Amino acid sequence: MKAGEGMKRMYIGGEWRESETNEGLPIRNPANQEVIAEVPRGRKEDVEQAVGMARDTFESEEWQAFPPDERGRVLNEVASKIRRDAEEIAKLETMDTGKPISQGRNDAEAAARYFEYYAGMADKILGETIPIQANILDYTVREPVGVTAHIIPWNYPIQITSRSTAAAIATGNTVVVKPAEDTPLTGLKLAELMEETSLPKGVFNVVTGYGREAGDALVHHPDVNHITFTGSVQTGMAVMEAASKNVIPITLELGGKSPNIVFKDSILDHAADWVVKSVIQNAGQTCSAGSRLLVEEDVKEIFIDKVKSRMLSLKIGHGLEDPDLGPVLSRKQFERIETFLNVARKEQAIFLTGGERALVEGCEAGYFLQPTMIDQLDPHSQVAQEEIFGPVLSVFSFQNEEEAIKLANDTPYGLVTGVWTENVGRAHRVAKKIRSGQVFINNYGAGGGIQMPFGGYKKSGFGREKGLEALRNYTTLKNVALKM
């Protein structure tokens, strides 16, 4: 039990606590299902304490008088501490999620960048003056919303915790974080780093536990002023319903079925490299995974061969060995993926690669899946339309630009799209007509894109994370009119 060093505690009001019931949850390494830590099983009573502490701190004179530039210095300090402990954080993330250690290192650096980025904005949350008439001074101010709740998914815990809490704290809010029950370790590590700073106790709180218990209590709490949620559509709908009962704003990021559109004039080898990277990162357990390949018919056979050869050469293994592909999170997640694969078989689709469990020596209990390419699917089949959340790529072809756009838009999601072409005019025409929150042309992901607004159309959710746009989530606008 090295990764999490045994029993952990929650962080509430600047104190490390057990749950009120003293119950615990085992945390398992996806590569071998070994228990690496235990965390408290937080429930409604624990959430009440965390939200209460966050509220008291938000209303306190200490926090209200905490200068914006000092908030920025604290966030910069957190960024430095993340970099100081980057290797420990990367290992925790890898042991917790199963992803390759190089991806864990990238996640740690991305977390530092979020704090660094929003640190620079803490004293630049500006209002404006509005001309009305000569004897009236009218101006706006952006104020923090209050207590913000952050429901974190299990696939990128350190990144997603950092991107929303850094923006929330930069704008003057206090936060309550509910990590996923499967992957809470780096969220708790982040609390340790916060504790080392001058941040008032109660600004940053972490409650561990099941979503159906601690998470449900948090999103229903009447003293929460904003909810940020990343996860499934079904759960997102429930969170949205809970928010509506308290009439509070919510930011939802609910996944995708993202296409890579490959035209015949693209640099095929470059495109093939990125098509593979986009679908295997974190074993395909990525909301922005490029899980659909749309390739121009004239080069379909050539391009598929390029992608297939790359898929077949991938190394599968324990995350700490830094393979290309680690395990999926759990048996539950693996069985969900298998359900989709069985549907594809029943529909007589063609498996170009994979489709089976991979056995890794020394990790026989882990749930590894061979990287999988499926051709000859109906574009409207369940496999082609729904988010699988595994290293599974569905292949389709198109005859012309118009058909490519229609195929790309023909799912309930709209999160990310990759466009591969050397024709600049075509690239912009396609980007304009694509219904997704991000469009990448001749690249995919842009190195994490800390500065780029991220969010979706349709069932991919609403609101935007990352970039300056995210600051709007955590502020409310006040207009003041002074008659002179």
Q: Where are the domains of the chain?
A: 6-254+463-483, 259-449
Q: How many helices (H) and strands (E) does the chain have?
A: 15, 25
Indicate the DSSP class of residue 325.
B
Alpha-helix runs per DSSP H in 60-199: 61-64, 68-84, 86-97, 101-119, 157-170, 185-195
469 counts as catalytic: no
Name the strands in the sheet holding 174-178, side by side, starting at the edge strand that comes first in the sequence.
Answer: 15-17, 10-12, 204-206, 174-178, 147-151, 226-230, 250-253, 461-462
- Length of the chain measured in residues: 484
Q: What is the pLDDT of residue 468?
A: 96
Token representation of residue 151: 């429901």
pLDDT at 226: 98
77, 109, 213, 253: the catalytic one is: 253
- Which residues does the chain have with pLDDT short of 70? 1-5, 446-447
Residues 223-280 pLDDT 10s: 999 999 999 999 999 999 999 999 999 999 998 999 999 999 999 999 999 999 999 9
Query: Among candidates 247, 392, 379, which has minimal Cα distance to 328?
Result: 392
CA distances from 364 to 103, 187, 357, 360 (A): 22, 28, 11, 6
Structure-block tokens of residue 162: 């950092």
Dist CA 115 CA 308 (whole Å): 39
* Cβ within 8 Å of residue 353, ≥6 positions away: 308, 311, 312, 370, 371, 372, 373
Supply the pLDDT for residue 5: 62
pTM beyond cutoff 0.85: yes
- CATH classification (class only), 6-254+463-483: alpha beta
DSSP alpha helix (H) spans, 138-232: 157-170, 185-195, 216-220
Question: What is the pLDDT at residue 447?
Answer: 62
Which pLDDT value is given to residue 3?
A: 54
Taking the C-alpha atoms of residue 187 and residue 199, their distance in angstroms, rounded to an integer, is: 17
Into which CATH architecture does domain 259-449 fall? 3-Layer(aba) Sandwich (3.40)
Distance in angstroms between the alpha carbons of the first and the last residue of the chain: 68
